[in-house]
Amino acid sequence: MKKFFVTVFAAMMGFFLSLGIILFVGLIMMASTIASSDTKPTLADNTVLHIKLNGTVTEQAQENPLHEILGDRVTNIAVNQTLDAIRKAAHIDKIKGIYFEGGALAADPASLQEIRKALVEFKKSGKFIYAYADTYTQGAYYLVSTADKVSLNPDGILDWHGLSSQPVFYKELLAKLGVKMQVFKVGTFKSAVEPFINTQMSDANREQVTSFLGSIWNNFVADVAKSRSISADTLQSLADRFMAMQDPAELVKSNMVDTLVYLDGAKATLRQYVGVKEKEKLNMLSPAEVCQLDDPKAKESKNKVAVYYAAGSIVDEVTQGINNEPQIVGIKVVKDMQKLEDDENVKAVVLRINSGGGSAYASEQMWHAIQKLNKKKPVVISMGGMAASGGYYMSSAGQYIFAEPTTLTGSIGIFGLIPDASELLTQKLGLTFDHVSTNKMSDFGATDRPFNAEESALLQKRIEAGYALFLKRVSQGRNKTPEQVDEIGQGRVWTGEQALEIGLVDKLGTLDEAIAYAAQKAGVEKDYQKKEYPESEPWYMALLNKTKSDYYSSQLKETLGEFYEPFMMIKGIRDNNPIQARIPFEPNIK
């Protein structure tokens, strides 16, 4: 027996010793990776900016040194980092050009358009752009169509099919679960509630979606036509043929790509562009690495133009637990606006908004804070992929509004969406409820019954008051009467180029143009530095939050099974402020 325990003890000690060694080595690897991430990359002769077109396009970069350790091949592309890298690459002599690799990219049209404009500007430097991929998604091709040469694997795919929107409707699913949605809204086009009360799009929603899809697609076609010297009519015809299903040779014939080569052939072409021999090393730097290099045209100045990024759903407070999506937290933005107001070195602020809206209450609080800041120093709005509903509410407080032609904006309207789960709770789950009340409406919002007529009337009145306030805020910012705003409001979504025509934005332009304009308004156009806010969350906090979120999600999935997705949808609605200024839940553009 004694020998048995000795053997077991020895085995346990060996296990824990091995585990300790593994953890120790892992910590050393992590520390070395983090340390190396803080070291400036080597800038050799004949360097290339290497942009991998995979993952999702985001507004701000979020660095994570663990990607290298974990071998994560799919990393997100940040608009701010990519734009800075392209701009620096044009100025740094040792960087000879840009190499795009891969093409599985998910992005909103306006973000793609902004990056594409930077690439067109880059070409004025006389440096090359070369692209190769096994597969180009439509958005990725929109970017690489600026290249001097576009190559595709001989067995590859290029997707070119036009745009579509396919909203999902939950009404019948919710009915099976015993849940009904109680809807209160203002706005003929306020279609955010439709997935929960209809089984198909309303005529008004179909009209607005058809309009903004056509506007976005026409921009894509016009830009590609110019870069590839293909007529717009030909590109429309090619889209009708669904080019992803065509023989790659047809893509060469139609001039959508230049050559069909394997990866080794692409690398040989890249070497020719750079001017290095076959056995010489190709020095390629990522956008993150190029951003760490010194910019020869950068200026030091105590005058700052702040670029404040506001991306995600608008919420009153941070949503804890299982939600790991970007958020614009009302109380945080209000505090940050005050800090920018108090900072004497900040001479102007560019508010970069990419949001489909959210809490009407938070939108009003942020509007007030932005307007207050705007009285002390210029606040210029730069719209990203979306600045709609609550996102437009925020924008209306600025002095001047820039948007991309394909930005989705407007959606001036308010709605309330409150689930009635009384049937689910009482009939399907067998719960019973009782009440003791001191007044007629003490049990307002009770979970065992829907709203009665008097309660519904009160909620609808509140929604209408919120819409009237929204109209007032926009009319103040856009120098229109509330009646004029109502005519172009009613919840309707517009693209940036449409919004320019009806006076909801001032100019079609990029973030860089908005920054230059803000500097000019502040009188520091010849002496300023750009400073980004808020600072990115440390990578380890993002990792911890994701781990926590994944744990909660896995536990809920295991517990709820097939009811997990409906539960999450209802929870998301209940967690938000019931009165919302929000675009349709998912524009769902493909």
Residue 16: what residue type? Answer: F
Q: Report residue 5 CA to chain centroid gap.
A: 59
- CA gap 303, 525 in Å, rounded: 10
Tokens of 404: 């991309």
Length of the chain: 590
Please identify which residue in the block is written with the tokens 């979970």.
Answer: 447
Residue 572: what residue type? Answer: G
Q: Is 389 a residue of the active site?
A: yes
Enter the DSSP assignment of 509: -
Tokens of 382: 């730069």
Note whether 580 and 192 are within 8 A (CB).
Answer: yes
Catalytic residue among 389, 395, 396, 422: 389
- CA gap 112, 405 in Å, rounded: 11
Ramachandran quadrant class, 162 (left: phi over 0; alpha: psi -120 to 50; beta: rest): left
- CA gap 38, 43 in Å, rounded: 15
In terms of Cα–Cα distance, which of 408, 406, 413, 371 is closest to 390?
413
Residue 265: what residue type? Answer: G
Catalytic residue among 127, 190, 304, 480: 190
Residue 82: what residue type? Answer: T
Within a 13 Å sphere around the CA of 422, how many CA atoms are in the beta-carbon half? 13
Q: Is 190 a residue of the active site?
A: yes
Percent helix, percent strand, percent coil in the chain, to nearest 5: 50, 20, 30
In terms of Cα–Cα distance, which of 377, 359, 383, 373 is closest to 495?
383
Catalytic residues: 190, 389
